[in-house]
Chain A
Amino acid sequence: MNGKGLVPAIAIILVSNAWLLTGAGFNRRGGPIQSIRLTERELALETEESDNSGVILRLVWRIPPRENIPTRPFGGVAFDSEKLKELGFDCSLSDENSPHFRLPPPREVFLALEYEGSAWQSWLKRLDESRAGNATPVSNRPVDAGEGVNPERARREGSRLFAMDASSSFEHLRRKYPDAGEYLIVRGLVRAGLHGNPDPITGKIVNPRWEGYVLGLLPPDVNVPLPYARELGRLPRATGGPPRYSVELHYGKTHEPWIGSVSVGTQ
């Protein structure tokens, strides 16, 4: 057997892995650029099927409620046309029927996620007002918050992580939100589109405007390595109640997360 023919193929495997591992090492070199401790409310334990022994935590986030913008699919509107222009979307045409209109593909941006801050307080306040009948119900359905449509359950168990702002520059967001303990800056995807209200008679969309929403975070999940995986893997499927663990999450130079520590027990 002449093994020389294998050299190019094995070289591709080794170079690809070296590229990946160097990238992972570069991300973590010099320590994290931001760290935050989150609980089960924001980092949900993914209950995998029996064929998968891995443990994954899913980042759970939501959009802050806004008075003047109605709810849209995928969790509500996050950004208006000005913000979308800032993110690089071409919002020059506001008529979908215009012959030169082009639907832009989603863009990768940085998102500022506020943890247990003003958006969370405002959300609770609106919830109280809504229960007292002083305001319209909280219309902005939480995104991936795990509590379904039950606001009381959201208060007890839902995520306190709110997508507040976006930018194409990490540094810009960090300058705007310098408190790394309260604001986590992560990569995410934003989709932009034209929306408006249908005319009750003609059915045509009137006053269409550009709106953007967060499609998801990049990456959406965090892999849990050993020995933390063993501790979290023992926990049964979540059935409600106070969070059962907290996780220190680090982000590195290339904005990829990793787990710094895990503390299991009622938080």
Chain B
Amino acid sequence: MANPTNRKEAQLSVDRIHVFRQELGRLISEGVLELTAEQQSRVESYLAVSAADLAARFDIDVSDSQKRISLGMRVLSTLGGMAFCAALVLFFYRIWGLLPTPAQVVILIGAPILALIGAEYVSHKERTPYYTALLVLVALGAFGLNLIVTGQLFNMASSQYFFLATGIFALTLAYRYRLRIPLALALVSLAVFFAATAIVSGGGNWAFFLERPETLIPAGLALAAVPSVVRHERTPDFPGVYRLLGLFLVFSAMLAMMHLGQLSYIPLARHTVEALYRALGFLGTGAAIWLGIRHGLVAVVNLASGSFAVYLFDRLITWWWDWMPRYLIFLIIGLIALLLMAVFRKLRTTTRGQTI
């Protein structure tokens, strides 16, 4: 058995031990395999020691009930982090009018630093990242509050650089503590910064970056391409976050552009732009499905398949709504859904056994 280097690999190893133990028991009980009592004891002993060793080194779940509890703890740490952020923001707004400006600034700068020190301390005390994740979320919220309120204190107009600062900060924490939620927040912030900067460079105001949705397409493509360029050996969960968030931005922006050609930078007629994005949408989701199957990226296949279905239904409703009886439209959509289910079932069979 290869020696796992991180929690994810260790969890996979323990899961394999669990399955192997079940299959071995079945083979023996059905008489397919015969082992002496001494051999059975040696195998069982080896598996038990291996599982215990992995559990001790990586604090992973060795049973289904432990897995369920871990999932609950992950949800709780996220909710707890968000609740602490809300408490921090509300408490600050409750007291800030009573404080002179220098004290306000010191508190605003000190809060994220304190939360960071807490996260660092806890991360060395626990092997599972639940409390660390909670404190990292608090640090992120405190830093956001810091930048927003400092701007308000000095009556500064908001700018897109807020997203650059919070994006880099969240990215640093995500890699430091190997956490996916800060990574997702960082990627969204950096994509917003990119889109807002694009609109500012054209003379527009940053806050209206959604009035040019296609600026999110290059940002999303760049994010989705990161795992191809940067290796993530110590953070095997991260490539999936990059790909999914990047492609989600791309497919969402394309859906908007299929209807809002008047918001495009492309110097073509509005209807041509919309037709172009319709073609790109279907080609893009098709290409993503193909790449996902080829590289065993199940989540990418699922996201692209879902987007493909949304594009298709959107088109059918747009084309047929005005001239076809409504019941017929929905009947056809239902039949197409059945057809797509058959296709996706085939895809699912193709990707069976792939774990990414």
Contact = CB atoms under 8 A, between A and B. Distances in A.
A100 B262 CA distance: 8
Given A99-B270, A101-B270, A258-B155, A53 B95 contact: yes
Contact of B264 (A2, A102, A187): A102
A172 B264 CA distance: 32
A9 B172 contact: yes
Contact of A6 (B116, B158, B272): B116
Contact of B93 (A1, A14, A54): A54
A51 interface: yes
Interface core residue of A13, A55, A219, A226 (most chain B CB under 10 Å): A13
B212 A105 contact: yes
Contacts of A23: 154, 156
Contact of B96 (A27, A54, A104): A54
Given A16-B165, A107-B205, A229 B97 contact: yes
B97 A233 contact: yes
A107 B147 CA distance: 24
A103 B157 CA distance: 24
Contact of A219 (B157, B269, B272): B157
Nearest to A257: B155
Interface stretch (B117-125, B278-286, B311-319): B117-125
A23 B150 CA distance: 11
A149 interface: no
Given A53-B96, A102-B264, A103-B263, A1 B121 contact: yes
A241 interface: no
A225 B152 CA distance: 11
A100 B109 contact: no
Nearest to B269: A99
Interface string A27-69: 1000000000000000000000001111100000000000000
Contact of B150 (A6, A17, A226): A17
Interface in B167-202: 168-169, 172-173, 176, 199, 202
Contacts of A225: 100-101, 153
B151 interface: yes
B82 to A, nearest CB: 18
Contacts of B93: 51-54
Decide if the interface of chain A is mainly helix, strand, loop or mixed: mixed
A54 B202 CA distance: 36
B271 A99 contact: yes
Contact of B199 (A2, A52, A105): A105
B120 A5 contact: yes
B199 A51 contact: no
Interface in B255-271: 262-264, 267-271
Interface in B81-114: 90, 93-101, 105, 108-109, 112-113
A187 to B, nearest CB: 6
A19 B268 CA distance: 41
A223 interface: yes
B212 to A, nearest CB: 7
A265 B146 CA distance: 35
Interface core residue of B96, B97, B120, B269 (most chain A CB under 10 Å): B97
Given A52-B93, A233-B97, A105 B208 contact: yes
B126 interface: no
B95 A226 contact: no
Contact of B205 (A53, A105, A221): A105
A219 B156 contact: yes
Contact of B156 (A5, A9, A99, A256): A256
B334 interface: no
A81 to B, nearest CB: 17
B146 A106 contact: no
A162 to B, nearest CB: 22
A256 B173 contact: no
A114 to B, nearest CB: 21
B95 A9 contact: no
Interface string B266-310: 011111100000000000000000000000000000000000000
A21 interface: yes
A222 B152 CA distance: 8
Given A1-B120, A21-B105, A104 B204 contact: yes
A15 to B, nearest CB: 8
Contacts of B109: 13-14, 17
B238 interface: no
Contact of B97 (A53, A101, A107, A218): A53
A226 B173 contact: no
A258 B154 contact: yes
Nearest to B151: A20
B211 A103 contact: yes
19 contacts: A3-B120, A8-B176, A12-B172, A13-B112, A16-B146, A17-B105, A53-B95, A53-B96, A55-B97, A88-B203, A100-B267, A100-B268, A101-B270, A102-B262, A105-B199, A105-B202, A105-B204, A229-B97, A257-B155
Interface of B: 90, 93-101, 105, 108-109, 112-113, 116-117, 120-121, 124, 139, 143, 146-147, 150-158, 161, 165, 168-169, 172-173, 176, 199, 202-205, 208, 211-212, 262-264, 267-272
Interface of A: 1-3, 5-6, 8-10, 12-14, 16-17, 19-21, 23-24, 27, 51-55, 88, 99-108, 187, 189, 218-219, 221-223, 225-226, 229, 233, 256-258
Given A9-B172, A225-B100, A257-B155, 6 more contacts: A6-B117, A13-B143, A17-B105, A20-B150, A101-B270, A106-B204
Q: Top 8 nearest A-B pairs by Cβ distance? A: A53-B97, A99-B269, A105-B204, A24-B154, A218-B157, A105-B208, A54-B97, A16-B165
